[in-house]
Every structure is written in structure tokens, then in C-alpha cells.
């Protein structure tokens, strides 16, 4: 029991759990914990019946119970460590029932023998008031199996706790693998589009190609070395967006009306990397790039405490509907939505709405 409660409590402290569990799992430590549990049980049993035996000291009562406590221990361990895991949990119900009944009868008779031939004559200095086989079987059963049921219940609870922990860890591993896969899709998609822009500039022998290379190197440094963490400073994500917008300004020049505003206190606030950029990129790929004349993009990031609100608005051709399923050559907004579900489950709201000439995104995230 102590072993279980220690494990349950220590699960809350992940930094210390591994080392302490290693100590607890050591055979010598486990044996000492079990001995302590049974000594505690012996003491509580003696204290409980002390009022019925006022002439006997607590030590005498503990000595009397110590004669039969090995029966309680054997019955508990047989049931908790063999009958339950090897038979009941494996759905061998008939075998479990037979062995449980046979072992219960055997333990009752063994306890009766120890009481009749050790406790009464040697400790109590008296003789039993009833014949050996004239007994209350229900009383004898409960006398042994109350503690058996307690130990078995603890063991079952501990087993369920470990199974739930394993299921939770498997789920977390699956989620982590899916997140890595989704984020891995973002990087090549983003680089592919940027390299296309660079290629177009080099064909025109534009002097701005060198500036694009510089911005691209900064973006690659971010994606290769900084965004591999679970969370990064929002200021770095903003810098990433600004670098991307700088590339788009170079690309579209006077054909683009672009605004990017940041409001609120961003210092120290963190967010999952590469969450906001796909919305910005989508505004250009499925909006600005399809317009032959002047295009508009409005992006706003607002922080109010731990509440983040991100809005993106871009003009688009009147006949062009937003592609929410996926980019024609990329991963689309569905990828970002899935990452949001995994990273900010029930802590985010996202809305898409559009008119004949404009597409809008509204994203709210609770960063707690």
C-alpha cells in the first residue's frame, strides 16, 4: 500500500520521479516497505480489539495476532500476485473460482489449527470453548479476507494506474510523432516557395536577389536551429513573419499594400513555432499571387495577457474561393488546424470567412 501511494504521489513531480522510483523498485527497499505495511496492520489490529480484552496488554495482543498474521500475508499475496493477474485478469474464471475457494478453505483450516494448538495453549494459557470443526465459516473467512481484499484492491488500483499511464504515454508519443510530421511538412513547403521567388529574381537579374538570399539565410537559421523547441518566444515568431513579409515586398514591389501591426506586451510570451506563418503565406499564395493588379494584405497580432489574437485579411480574385483543404503543391491550412488541435486543444478558436474580394482568418489562442 505504501509503495502504491508513494508512486501515485511522485507521479506529480516528473523531475524527481525517475530517481525515487528507482530507489523504491529496489528489492531491499520493497521488502522493507512491505514489512512496514504488515507491522502497521498488526499494530492496528491489536489496537482495534484492545477494548474487548482489557486484561491483556497491547504487546500481548500483538503477540497473539502475530501467530496468525502469516496466514493473512500468504492469502493476500497468493490472491493479489497470482490468482488475480494470472487467472482473473486473463479471464480464466473457472480456474480462479476453484483455486480461490480451495485456498480460502485451506487458509481457514490452517488458521484454525494455529489458534487451537498454539495461541490458546501457549499464549492465552487456556483451551478452546468449542470443537475444532464447529466454527462460523463466514466469520473465519472475513477474519482473513478483509485484509486480502484491501491488498488486492490496492494492487488492482496500482495496475489500473500503470495501464492508464502507459496509455497516456503512448498517446503523447503518437501526438509528438504527428506534430513532428506536420511541422516537417511546413519547412520544405515554405522554402520551396521562397526559392521560387529567388529564382524569379535571378532570371530578371534583379539587384534585390542578394537581399533575398540574406533574408532566406535568416529564415533557414530560424527553422534549422530555433524552431525545434516545443515553444519559442513570440518575438522570434514575429521576426520570422517580418522577414517573410520583407521577401514578399521585394517580390511585389508597388503592387502590394501591406500592413503588419503588433499590439500588447509580447516580452516573455511563448508560442509553438511555425503556427502563425502558414496563415501569412496562405494570404499571398491564394490571394495576392492570383491578382494581376493592386493587392492588399492586413495582418494584426494582439496580446492581452496570455490571450493571443491573430487576424489576417487579404484581397483575392472575385471568382477564387479559398482552398481550406490544402495548397495545390503544399499542405494548406488543414495542417495548421491539426497542429492547433494537438497543441492547444480546447484553448483556441479559429474562424475563416470571406467575401467576393476578400479572405479573412481570425485565430485566438490561450497561451496558458
255 part of a folded domain = yes
**pLDDT at position 179, please?**
53
Domain with residue 269: its CATH number is 3.30.565.10
At 308, is the pLDDT very low, low, confident or very high (cuts 50, 70, 90)?
Answer: very high
Which is more confidently placed, 89 or 252?
89
> What 3-state DSSP class applies to 127?
coil
Indicate if the pLDDT at residue 48 is higher than 90.
no
Last residue of one domain, picked from the residues 170, 199, 223? 170
Measured from the Cβ of residue 298, the count of other Cβ atoms closer than 10 Å reads 17
- b/e per residue 247-262 (b: at least 16 CB within 10 A): bbebbbeeebebebee
Range of the structural domain that residue 218 is part of = 186-366
Structural domain count of the chain: 2
At 62, is the pLDDT very low, low, confident or very high (cuts 50, 70, 90)?
Answer: confident
Q: What angle do CA 226, 306, 314 make, to 5 degrees?
A: 70
C-alpha to C-alpha distance for 36 and 25, rounded to whole angstroms: 16
Task: Report which listed range, 38-52, 61-75, 91-105, 312-326, is most confident.
Answer: 91-105
Residue 209 sits in the same domain as residue 339: yes
Whole-model pTM? 0.51
Task: Report which listed range, 58-62, 151-155, 170-174, 337-341, is most confident.
Answer: 151-155
C-alpha to C-alpha distance for 315 and 310, rounded to whole angstroms: 17
Which is more confidently placed, 250 or 170?
250
Last residue of one domain, picked from the residues 136, 170, 204? 170
How would you classify residue 346: left for phi > 0, otherwise alpha for psi between -120 and 50, otherwise beta? left
Last residue of one domain, picked from the residues 170, 202, 228? 170
Residue 19 sits in the same domain as residue 72: yes
Q: Are strands 358-366 and 270-271 parallel, antiparallel or unpaired?
A: unpaired
Indicate if the pLDDT at residue 171 is higher than 90.
no
Phi, psi values for residue 214, rounded to 5°? -65, -45
Residue 142 sits in the same domain as residue 200: no
**pLDDT at position 366, please?**
92
**pLDDT at position 292, please?**
56
Q: Hey, what's the cell of 328? A: 495545390
Residue 229 sits in the same domain as residue 327: yes
Q: What is the DSSP letter of 321?
A: P
Q: Give the chain's length.
A: 368
Residue-wise pLDDT for 85-132, tens only, equals 999 988 899 999 999 999 999 999 998 888 888 877 877 777 777 777
Residue 12 sits in the same domain as residue 66: yes
**pLDDT at position 5, please?**
36
Task: Give 219-253 as a DSSP string.
Answer: HHHIIIIITTSS-EEHHHHHHHHHHHHHHHHHHHG
Task: List the one residue out of 293, 324, 320, 298 whose CA is nearest residue 311.
Answer: 298
**pLDDT at position 330, please?**
40
Residue 9 sits in the same domain as residue 126: yes
Indicate if the pLDDT at residue 14 is higher than 70.
no
Amino acid at each position: 500500500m505504501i509503495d502504491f501511494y508513494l508512486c501515485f504521489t511522485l507521479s506529480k513531480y516528473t523531475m524527481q520521479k525517475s530517481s525515487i522510483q528507482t530507489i523504491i523498485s529496489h528489492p531491499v527497499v520493497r521488502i522493507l516497505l512491505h514489512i512496514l505495511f504488515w507491522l502497521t496492520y498488526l499494530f492496528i489490529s491489536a489496537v482495534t480489539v484492545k477494548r474487548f480484552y482489557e486484561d491483556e496488554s497491547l504487546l500481548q495482543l500483538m503477540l497473539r495476532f502475530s501467530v496468525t498474521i502469516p496466514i493473512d500475508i500468504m492469502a493476500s499475496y497468493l490472491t493479489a500476485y497470482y490468482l488475480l493477474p494470472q487467472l482473473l485478469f486473463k479471464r480464466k474464471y473457472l480456474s480462479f473460482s476453484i483455486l480461490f475457494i480451495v485456498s480460502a478453505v485451506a487458509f481457514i483450516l490452517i488458521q484454525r489449527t494455529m489458534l487451537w494448538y498454539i495461541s490458546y495453549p501457549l499464549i492465552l494459557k487456556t483451551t478452546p470453548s468449542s470443537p475444532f470443526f464447529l466454527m462460523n465459516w463466514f466469520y473465519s473467512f472475513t477474519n482473513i479476507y478483509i485484509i486480502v481484499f484491501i491488498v488486492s484492491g490496492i494492487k488492482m488500483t496500482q495496475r489500473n494506474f500503470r495501464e492508464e499511464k502507459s496509455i497516456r504515454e503512448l498517446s503523447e508519443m503518437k501526438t509528438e510523432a504527428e506534430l513532428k510530421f506536420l511541422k516537417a511538412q511546413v519547412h520544405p513547403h515554405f522554402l520551396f516557395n521562397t526559392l521560387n521567388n529567388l529564382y524569379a529574381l535571378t532570371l530578371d537579374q534583379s539587384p534585390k536577389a542578394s537581399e533575398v538570399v540574406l533574408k532566406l539565410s535568416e529564415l533557414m537559421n530560424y527553422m534549422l536551429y530555433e524552431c525545434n523547441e516545443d515553444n519559442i518566444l513570440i518575438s522570434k515568431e514575429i521576426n520570422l513573419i517580418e522577414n517573410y513579409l520583407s521577401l514578399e515586398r521585394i517580390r511585389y514591389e508597388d503592387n502590394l499594400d501591406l500592413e503588419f501591426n503588433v499590439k500588447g506586451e509580447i516580452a516573455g510570451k511563448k508560442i509553438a513555432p511555425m503556427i502563425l506563418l502558414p496563415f501569412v503565406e496562405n494570404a499571398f499564395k491564394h490571394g495576392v499571387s492570383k491578382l494581376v493588379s493592386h493587392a492588399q494584405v492586413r495582418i494584426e497580432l494582439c496580446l492581452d495577457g496570455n490571450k493571443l489574437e491573430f487576424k489576417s485579411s487579404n484581397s483575392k480574385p472575385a471568382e477564387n474561393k479559398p482552398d481550406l483543404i490544402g495548397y495545390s503543391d503544399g499542405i494548406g491550412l488543414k495542417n495548421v488546424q491539426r497542429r492547433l488541435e494537438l497543441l492547444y486543444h480546447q484553448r483556441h478558436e479559429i474562424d475563416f470567412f470571406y467575401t467576393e474580394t476578400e479572405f479573412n482568418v481570425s485565430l485566438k489562442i490561450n497561451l496558458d
